Amino acid sequence: MKLTKENIQFIDTYLKNSNIIYVDIRLEMTDHIASAVEDKMQEENLDFYDAFKNYMIKNKAIILNNNKESNSFSWTEIKKYLLFIVQPKKLIFAMFLLLLHQFVDVNSYFSKAFSFNDLLLVLIVSISFFQIIYYFVYLKKRFYSLEKSGMILFIIYYTKMIFIPFGSEGSNALGLFFFYLIFAYSLFFFKEIRTFQKHKYNFA
Amino acid sequence: MKNSQLYKGSLNTIVMKLLEENGRMYGYEITQKVKDITKGELKITEGALYPALHKMEAEGILEVEVENVDNRLRKYYKLTQKGTTETVNKLAELEEFIKNMQSIVQPKLDF
C-alpha cells in the first residue's frame, strides 16, 4: 500500500522535530522510513500510524544516528577540495600568481589603509556573505551537501589568521598562497552548486 | 549488521557489486536486497549504509539521481565510470581475501 502525501508530510515533520535540519538528509530518511512502513503495513496488515509507531520504536536510534554525519567533520570534503586545488588548470593559475609575485611589487598597489591582508579578508567575507544569501534567501532551505563545504572556508580563515594575523600586510608569497586557496575555494563552491542544481534537490 | 566486525570492511564492495548488477538502487532497496540474498542472515543497518553511500558519492565512485516516486523524493545511486573500474578491483581483492581466509580456516594438508 502506497503512502499518501499527508503520510509523507507526517514523517518529514517528525524528522524535522527530531532536529534533522538538512533537507537532503531528511528526504533520504523519509523515503527509507516510508518504504519500510509501506512494507510493514502490507505484511502485518496495519494502518499507517501503527506501522509507523512500531517501526520507529525499533529503529529510531539507528535512523537518527544518520544525523550525526551532518555534525561531524567531513574529511572526504577536505580531501575533495585538496584534489581540486592541485588540478592542472588550477596549478597553471598558481604558477601565474607565483610569477606575478616574482616580477611585480604587489605591495605598491596596496597601502596601510588597505593592505593585501585586508583584500584576503574582504574576499572571505564576500564569499561567506554570498553563501548566507544563497542558503537563507534564495534556497530558503538548508542542504548538508552544500553547507559541508563551508567548513573549508572556516579552516582557510583561521589558518590565515595564524600565519597572517590582523595588522600584517600579507603581500608576500604566503599571502598569495592564501589568495590562491580562497580563489580556488570560490571555484570549488560554484562547482558544488552546479552538482547540487543537477540533483534538483531544490524542488523538495 | 550481523557479525559487524567481519562484514564492516566489505560493505562498500557489497554495495558496489549490487549496483553493478542492478544498475541503480536506493538505500532501502539495498538493505532489502542484501537481506533477501542472504535469507535474513546479513542485515545492513541504515546507520552504516547511508554514511558509506555518501562517502562513495563524494569520492566519485557513485553518482546520484533524484526522482519523485510515490509522493516523495527518492535518491538513486549508480556507479560512475570510476566506480565501475573500482568494483572490478574491489571484487578481485575480496575474492583473494576469501581464498586466503579459506586456506587458513580449512587448510589442505599435504600428506
pLDDT tens by residue, A35-79: 999 999 999 999 999 999 999 998 888 887 777 766 667 788 888
* Half-sphere exposure (Cβ direction) of A46: Cα atoms closer than 13 Å: 16
| Edge-first strand listing for the sheet containing B72-79 | B24-26, B72-79, B62-69
Rounded distance, CA B15 to CA B25, Å? 10
Confidence of residue A175 (pLDDT cuts 50, 70, 90): confident
| Among candidates A8, A39, A200 on the partner chain, residue whose Cβ is nearest the Cβ of B72 | A8
- Among B57, B4, B2, B1, which residue's Cα sits nearest to residue B26? B57
Q: What angle (nearest 5°) sits at the alpha carbon of residue B23, between those of residues B16 and B12? A: 10
**ipTM of the assembly?**
0.86
Does residue B95 have a pLDDT over 50?
yes
C-alpha cell at B43: 542485515
Give the residue among B95, B79, B2 at the shortest CA–CA distance from B41.
Answer: B2
DSSP H helices, A45-115, are 48-65, 68-71, 75-85, 88-103
Q: Is the CB of residue A78 less than 8 Å away from at least one CB of chain B?
A: no
Distance CA B42, CA B49 (A): 13
Euclidean distance between CA atoms A122 and A2, whole angstroms: 52
Please tell me if residue B4 touches chain A, with a CB cutoff of 8 Å: no
Percent of chain A with pLDDT over 70: 93
* Closest among A47, A26, A27 to A37, alpha carbons compared: A47
Please name the member of B71, B73, B75 whose beta carbon is closest to the beta carbon of A4.
B71
Of A140-149, A156-165, A195-204, the range with the lowest mean pLDDT is A195-204
Q: Which of B111 and B106 is assigned the larger pLDDT?
A: B106
- Kindly report, residue by residue over B52-94, the tens digit of the pLDDT: 998 898 888 999 988 899 899 999 999 999 999 999 999 998 8
pTM, rounded to two decimals: 0.81
Identify the band that residue A204 occupies on the pLDDT scale cut at 50, 70 and 90. very low
Answer whether A4 sits within 8 Å of B58, measured CB to CB: no
Task: Give yes or no for B40 touching A (CB within 8 A).
Answer: no
